Amino acid sequence: MKQQVTVVGGGVVGLATAYALVREGRSVDLIEARDSLASATSFANGGQLSYRYVAPLADAGVPWQALGWLLQGESPLRLRLRMDPAQWRWLLAFTLACRRSVNRRNAGHLLELALYSQAVLAQWREHQNLGDFAWRRNGKLVAF
């Protein structure tokens, strides 16, 4: 009997996750709230795969930025503060993670994951019939 897995969200990440699970022999149900796939965040994304440009959310300036974001209606952070000990423990842990040393270590983990993702996508392109998804191998230069 195949292991049954449910993937929530039919964007790029949800579809890639479902595809990988099916390739591993699992039975997958994909749940998407919208009428069409990849029509929310994945639709608005430029489709750029930047494997070496990683930045953990928990960074030194984020707690101060987050305070400002909480006052904006259309901010990248939405948080309803509650009298929930689990929420406050998470907020404390997140704030403590906003240190340069932790950020560097986490950036290393994200880079490792990104390079693994790059290798998996290359393998899928070479060995699977993914159809035409407008793949282009372009370069990118980020200068500081």
pLDDT in tens, 52-97: 888 888 888 888 888 888 778 777 777 788 999 999 999 999 999 9
Measured CA distances, 49 to 53, 97, 143 (Å)? 9, 26, 17
Residue 77 near residue 70 (C-beta atoms within 8 A): yes
Domain ranges of the chain: 1-46, 49-129
Q: How confident is the model at residue 109 (pLDDT cuts 50, 70, 90)?
A: very high
Measured CA distances, 102 to 19, 92, 95 (Å)? 32, 14, 11
Q: How confident is the model at residue 131 (pLDDT cuts 50, 70, 90)?
A: low
